[in-house]
A and B are shown apart, each in its own frame.
Chain A
């Protein structure tokens, strides 16, 4: 520990500094009242429709944060859950939240309680609907499967960190005829959600969800800042591509050597 650990270098300061600058700058300008545009995200626009369907059918909804713990992914899932529970509270529809992490379970309970309070119906909050099942991946999944069937859920939301169990959940959701919306930053599970859910939030859209749903200036500003951050990364890759191409074509050029020692070396190669 210590000598073998890697630490920030000049490239980290520049790249991450730029990303942080864009995000914070846009948050500040949004909080000062600047109007920001966010394009439509179909999967997220369908959330309200899905809540409405459960209300019409008089059946409960299910929201699972997957295997998320108290991490950035888990907290983002809670932000989305807050929106869904508020909508559900408005229409008097039950939301069942099976969790797989004891820490996130407690946060989920708080979020749900707050959402019902915010809608002025604290009496609708049923602590038994926010459940801790197990921290074992497949025990949790089998519990969610059982819940899907026994409660005959009309709508199922899967937002958070998922692993192999994703398909088990969504296929059982299909069996009970639930409308299903999923979102996860776990790339390997997106195909299974796409194949078995009605709407799927892909990759980065997951982090855009809370801003999109709440229209809260801070979150919108952050989302716009993220776009600038992605532009920075594109620019970085384009400059890098030019540098390596020049390096391959004209290895003796001074500028090539300079680029190698001042730019390219900070981005270790060999992954993928």
Chain B
């Protein structure tokens, strides 16, 4: 029995080519459609149970893989760990199918504006233009079509990368205005935070070191040199505070994960009747 099952499994897993491949793919899609059809006819009272079971199984696999590592004595390998890359691949591949959900939303919003020639319609037009340009040029470039690598590079390096790094660099301006505001009008706590920030900032630049350069480099007074104070803040109070947050977050994440895994989570999304 076991051996014949193994034979069937090996036969099914064999790579196919040509017409056989087409038949098998269509067959798989047909079986999938049948499976979805069955799901569609599941009575309402069983639906929540199915969702809970699937959630539990998803979590159970990763939990068992770590908590109860089963080692195959013959091969010396861990079967659950061995299939991990395949599971991760599957998760990534299936997750990619959801990308269209988001893009569909963008298309709906911009499509509507464009069709109505509404306010700022040209922004929606440029959205579509750039969206299709870079996607199509990307594929054409991979096929080696003349001129496409350069055009792709203009869009990618000229626009995309530049827009990315410029947006990132905006923080340089905002960090200054945020610091100024924190000193001016925020709470005493924020002010206190900024004092610590100033010390660290000065400690990390040569100017800061110069400010307390008159203090000796050794002995008791050397502890008051800015770079030393900065280093101490970073490695002692800062480390302790960050650890405290990390431990709290760790327990919080574990509790939330546990509630989700065991379907104990509450809130409209989790409570809704299906």
Contacts and interface: CB of A to CB of B under 8 A. Distances in A.
Q: Assess A/B contact in the complex (Cβ within 8 A).
A: yes
A58 B98 CA distance: 35
Contact of A8 (B69, B95, B174, B256): B69
Given A2-B78, A72-B253, A167 B103 contact: no
Interface string B236-267: 00010011111111011111111110001111
A195 B190 contact: yes
Pairs A-B, 7 closest by C-beta atoms: A207-B252, A204-B248, A102-B102, A132-B102, A203-B245, A114-B268, A171-B174
Contacts of B193: 191, 194-195
Interface stretch (B164-172, B208-216, B225-233): B164-172
Contacts of A165: 167
19 contacts: A7-B66, A13-B67, A23-B254, A23-B258, A72-B253, A79-B265, A86-B268, A102-B103, A138-B164, A138-B168, A141-B167, A168-B167, A191-B197, A196-B174, A207-B249, A207-B252, A218-B265, A222-B255, A226-B251
Interface in B63-109: 66-69, 77-78, 81-82, 84-85, 95, 98-103, 105-106, 108-109
Contact of B101 (A82, A105, A185, A225): A105
Nearest to A85: B268
Contact of A114 (B78, B256, B266, B269): B269
Given A82-B269, A170-B178, 17 more contacts: A1-B82, A2-B82, A8-B69, A12-B67, A72-B260, A75-B260, A78-B267, A106-B101, A114-B272, A167-B171, A168-B174, A190-B245, A196-B178, A204-B249, A207-B249, A225-B255, A230-B248
Interface residues of B, number: 66
Report which residue of B78, B178, B194 has the largest number of chain A beta carbons within 10 angstroms of its beta carbon.
B178
B140 interface: no
A196 B164 CA distance: 22
Contacts of A103: 95, 98, 101
Nearest to A193: B178
A192 B178 contact: yes
Contact of A106 (B98, B239, B242, B245): B98
B266 A136 contact: no
Nearest to A103: B98
A118 B268 contact: yes
Interface stretch (B43-51, B149-157, B179-187): B179-187
Contacts of A135: 99, 102
A114 to B, nearest CB: 4
Contacts of B259: 27, 218-219, 222
Interface string A177-209: 000000001010011101110000011101110
Interface of B: 66-69, 77-78, 81-82, 84-85, 95, 98-103, 105-106, 108-109, 163-164, 167-168, 170-171, 174-175, 177-179, 181-182, 186, 189-190, 193-194, 197, 239, 242-249, 251-260, 264-269, 272
Given A1-B85, A8-B67, A75 B239 contact: no
A118 B242 CA distance: 39
B178 A131 contact: no
Contacts of B167: 138, 141-142, 165, 168
Nearest to B166: A138
A210 interface: yes
Report which residue of B109, B252, B256, B272 has the largest number of chain A beta carbons within 10 angstroms of its beta carbon.
B252
A102 B67 contact: no
Contact of A185 (B78, B178, B253): B253
Contacts, number: 197
A78 B109 contact: no
A196 B70 CA distance: 50
A20 B98 contact: no
B239 A272 contact: yes
Given A16-B254, A222-B255, A225-B255, A202 B245 contact: yes
Contacts of B81: 1-2, 5
Given A102-B98, A207-B256, A272-B243, A110 B269 contact: yes
Interface in A147-170: 164-165, 167-168, 170
Interface in A47-86: 72-73, 75-76, 78-79, 82, 86
Nearest to B257: A72
A230 B251 contact: yes
Contact of B109 (A131, A191, A219): A131
Contacts of B102: 99, 101-102, 105, 132, 135
